[in-house]
Each structure stands twice: as C-alpha cells, then as structure tokens.
Amino acid sequence: MAEVYIVDGETIESALRRFKRKVLQEDIIKETKRHSFYLKPGEKKRIKSALARKRNRKRRTRDTVAEPAR
C-alpha cells in the first residue's frame, strides 16, 4: 500500500507527485489491471507465451542491429 505523508510546508502538488511515483514503483496499477478480470489457465498460458515470443523477437532485432556488418 502506497502511503505519502505530507511534510510541513510541502505543497499538495509535490506530495501528489511523490504518491504517483511511489504507485508506479510498486506496480499497483499493473496488479489491479491484472486482477480486474478472470483469465482461464489456457488463456493465461497463451498470453504468457505470446509475450515471450514478442520479447525474444525484440531481443533478436536489437542484437542484429547492435552487431556491425562485416
């Protein structure tokens, strides 16, 4: 749970900025989106493998671009 305590003399805007940063760091929004609907185990597995394929494809293209042509 993200908590931000306002220090004396601190503006609401700066405290809100700190709160937003803390929420992003703790991946609270990602977790709520993940739990907002139910996925069947098979669907979850398909999504996981699709993300892995995407990650590997990105890694391969990044590696081929990084290597100089001979």
Digit-coded pLDDT (tens) for 10-58: 999 999 999 999 999 999 888 888 889 899 999 999 999 999 999 999 9
pLDDT of residue 70: 63
What is the domain count for the chain? Answer: 2
On whether both 1 and 32 belong to a single domain, the answer is yes
Tell me, yes or no, whether 1 and 31 share the same domain.
yes
Residues 20 and 31 placed together within one structural domain of the fold = yes
Are residue 23 and residue 52 in the same domain, yes or no? no
Same domain, 43 and 28: no
List the domain range (segments joined by +) for residue 7: 1-37
H/E stretch holding 63 = helix 41-66
* Coarse DSSP helix, strand, coil percentages of the chain, rounded to the nearest 5 percent: 65, 0, 35
Q: Give the per-residue pLDDT at 64.
A: 82
Could you tell me if 8 and 29 lie in one domain?
yes
